[in-house]
Amino acid sequence: MSARRFFSQNPRTNLVRLGLTALCAVGAYQAFQVQKAYAATRRTVCAQDLYVRDAPAGIFIGTLYYGQSMDVTKYSPSGEWAYGFAYGNVNKWGWVQNGWFCN
């Protein structure tokens, strides 16, 4: 479509067309962005129960029970806390105290 056919005599129509074009361009940019990948280690809980928190020593958001698992993606600098996706009844991202996983 040529520029002459795209733009009309009505400024309001031109503004709507430009806005829709910009919206489509932003949507296409966001749709094709590549997300950073991470490597997770699936760990199994060996404690009777293990509290999942929103931060190391933070607010309680759920409980993992014996035999349930968590995909650990990182550890706190001290190594006392593990962060990842907690499966089971929790099904959320969170922190747990490290050392309660089976070897």
Is the separation of the CB atoms in 17 and 6 below 8 Å? yes
Question: Which of 38, 52, 57 has its CA nearest to residue 88?
Answer: 52
- Structural element, H or E, at residue 74: strand 69-75
Q: What are phi and psi of 55, to 5 degrees?
A: -155, 165
Q: How many CB atoms lie within 10 A of CB 69?
A: 17
Identify the pLDDT of residue 35. Answer: 47
Token pair 């806005």: residue: 19
| pLDDT tens-digit map of 37-89 | 567 899 999 999 999 999 999 999 999 999 999 999 999 999 999 999 999 98
Residue type, 97: Q
* 12 against 4, higher pLDDT: 12
**Domains of the chain with CATH codes:** 1-33 (no CATH), 41-97 (2.30.30)
Is the separation of the CB atoms in 32 and 46 below 8 Å? no
Is the separation of the CB atoms in 99 and 75 below 8 Å? no
Residue type, 54: D
pTM tops 0.95, yes or no: no
